[in-house]
Structure formats: structure tokens, C-alpha cells
Amino acid sequence: MILFPAIDLKDGQCVRLKLGDMDQATVYNEDPGAQAKAFEDQGFEWLHVVDLNGAFAGQTVNGEAVDAILKATKNPVQLGGGIRTLDHIEAWLSRGLARVILGTVAVRDPVLVIEACKRFPGQVAVGIDAKGGKVAVEGWAEASELGVIELAKRFEGAGVAAIIYTDIDRDGILAGINWASTLELADAVSIPVIASGGLASIDDIKRMLQPDAAKLEGAISGRALYDGRIDPAEALALIKAAKEVNA
């Protein structure tokens, strides 16, 4: 089980949004590279990064900030937001990303995702952002009629490294993860699922380590870490202890 600290980039700064609303952004660090290094120093082993401007624009906007993050940390980094073409994927992976996250393009062009998985095995994840059980696209600005599990099943056997599942209705408001829908998705597909949206306290970490959540690869935490609601040392110690028990 991996706890992924999140860096969301807006206008070159590290921010958190409420419910995906770009007008409700709280700036937590003006230096994303320094924030990435701080997470590494706290003991985290991965980093989740989203180019928020890029998600709306359909292309990379915060490239300089992402490059600064890659330079600042030795940890593997996964990036989502505005990555829509095979050339774009290849360019980012060649710059040192461990994994790209494809969101809108997974809905619009699933064949591209399947081709990307063939070209870049183990380095392509799919981001599924849901509102009311339906998939949202274009930086959460547009709703679709596509169901979460329906979309996920399109990629069974394609070699997708992980599905990052975000419940928009809970993102950035510390409401707790939507365990029912998250575990339903994890049970429905063989692809590893990473939970996102709403992680609120150490109780969510403990819940994630229960046997019925064993199929989860991990969870992403943003505001709860920045606001001090989750202590990194305590959370990572719980995860380490659980790994040792299950070893």
C-alpha cells in the first residue's frame, strides 16, 4: 500500500482546490520543487502531481514547475493533467516521469490509451474522475453519461499500470474517501486502484489497511497532509507495520 502525497499545480504554485473549483484554490507552497523535496524528506516514496491548468487547457501549462519537481526529488513521480497524445506521453517519460496519468483522453480515445500501454509498459495510468457515479472530463468541467466501472473495464488486459479514482464530490473538503464506490471499482477490475478525493484523517489510513481494501494499490493525500490532519510519520509507520504483517 502506497500513500501518494499530492502536488496540484496552478499558475506554477502548489495549491489545493475545493471540489475541483479553480476559483477555490488555496496556495500551500510557491516552490513546487521544495515541496517535492519536503515530501521525500518526510519518508514518502512516490509523488502524485497534477497540472490543473493543463487539465483545462488540454496541454501542459505548468511544465517548468514539473521539471523543477523532477529535479528536486529522487522519488518516482506520476503526472496527470492535459496529457492527450502519444508524443506528449513520450516527451514526459523521457524527461524522467515514472508514470503518466491519462484522464480525458481515456474517455475520448481509449484506443490511444491501449496503444500507449503497448509502447510504454508499466508507465501509463488512467485517471477516472467521477461525480454522482458518472465520469467527468476536461478538468472536471464536463460530465459524461459514462459509468466508472464501464470505463474501467474498457482497459482490462491493456496493461494499464493503475486506475486513479477520484470522487469529485469529496475532493479537497476532507469528507473522507467514498469507500463504497472505491472498493466496488477495485473489486470489479483486475487493474490496481488508487483512491483519491477526501482522505481526511489517520482513520482513513487505518481503513485502507483493512483486509477488504487489499486490492487497493494506495491512496492520494493532499489537503489532509498540508493542513496537518495526517501526520506523515504516523501514517507511514502504520503502512510499514501492515506490510510487515502481510509479508
Q: What is the 3-state secondary structure (H, E, C) of 69-109?
A: HHHHCCCCEEEECCCCCHHHHHHHHHCCCCEEEECHHHHHC
In this predicted structure, the answer to whether residue 23 has a pLDDT above a threshold of 90 is: no
In this predicted structure, the answer to whether residue 96 has a pLDDT above a threshold of 50 is: yes
Instruction: Tell me which architecture the domain covering 2-246 has in CATH.
Output: Alpha-Beta Barrel (3.20)
What average pLDDT does the segment 35-54 reach? 97
CA-angle at 105, arms to 104 and 108, nearest 5°: 95
- Rounded CA-CA distance 13/33 in Å is 10
Query: Phi and psi at residue 241, in whole multiples of 5°?
Result: -65, -40
What average pLDDT does the segment 168-191 reach? 80
Contact 15, 27 (CB under 8 A): yes
Residue 136, pLDDT score = 76
**Which range has highest mean pLDDT (141-150, 157-166, 169-178)?**
157-166
What average pLDDT does the segment 124-129 reach? 94
Model confidence at 140, pLDDT cuts 50, 70, 90, reads very low
Q: What percent of the chain has pLDDT over 90?
A: 71
- Rounded CA-CA distance 136/103 in Å is 9
Model confidence at 139, pLDDT cuts 50, 70, 90, reads very low
In this predicted structure, the answer to whether residue 138 has a pLDDT above a threshold of 90 is: no
- Nearest in space to 61 (alpha carbons), one of 90, 78, 83, 30: 83
62 exposure class (CB count in 10 Å sphere: 0-12, 13-18, 19+): buried
- Just list the catalytic residues: 8, 129
Average pLDDT of the residues of the chain: 90
Task: Give the three-class secondary structure for 1.
Answer: coil
230 exposure class (CB count in 10 Å sphere: 0-12, 13-18, 19+): buried
Q: What percent of the chain has pLDDT over 70?
A: 92
pTM: predicted TM-score of the whole model, two decimal places: 0.93
Residue 133, pLDDT score = 72
Model confidence at 184, pLDDT cuts 50, 70, 90, reads very high
CA-angle at 84, arms to 220 and 63, nearest 5°: 65
- DSSP label at residue 173: T
In this predicted structure, the answer to whether residue 29 has a pLDDT above a threshold of 80 is: yes
